[in-house]
Structure 1
Amino acid sequence: MMAVVAAILFGLALIFRLADFSLEIFTASLLTTAGLLFAALHLAGVGSAVRRGGGGGGRSWRGRRPWRGRRYSRR
């Protein structure tokens, strides 16, 4: 989500810079700085989904399962 916001802000900053357009508050440099902030938040993991309950999909094993790869059945 943060990466999408950063991309939109960078796009607006590019349009403002190419059109030589600025408002009193919103300038191309402000939008670029805000885009960098949201890109940094995205890389830090802010706004990502948090999995709760021991993992996703009901899978509780970590690493290799002991009975995998054996030719005989598990008892």
Structure 2
Amino acid sequence: MLAILSAVLFFIAFLINAADISTNDTFSSTNVMLLGLTALALHMAGIGSGWPSRRR
């Protein structure tokens, strides 16, 4: 789930950068890209990757 979120954030950052949209400092393309990298790092760490398997 976090991998999909990071892909969406990367796409939004690309659109902001490619279209040269002037945004405030909070929603700049760099900040959105860093949010995507954070979500990707959490996904790679195993957080938010799905239901935990239960052993019997």
Misfit runs of 4+, over 2 Å: none
Indicate the RMSD between aligned Cα atoms, in angstroms: 1.2
Name the residue aligned to 1:18.
18
Taking CA–CA contacts closer than 8 Å with sequence separation of 6 or more, which of the two structures ends up with the larger relative contact order?
A: 2
TM-score normalized by the length of structure 1 = 0.67
In our comparison, the structure showing a higher alpha carbon Rg is 1
Q: Percent identity?
A: 37
Note the C-alpha offset of 1:51: 1.2
Paired positions, count: 54
TM-score, with normalisation over the residues of structure 2? Answer: 0.87
Unaligned stretches of 5+ residues in structure 2: none
Match of 1:42 in 2: 43
Instruction: Provide structure 1 residue ranges, at least 5 long, that are not aligned to the other structure.
Output: 56-75
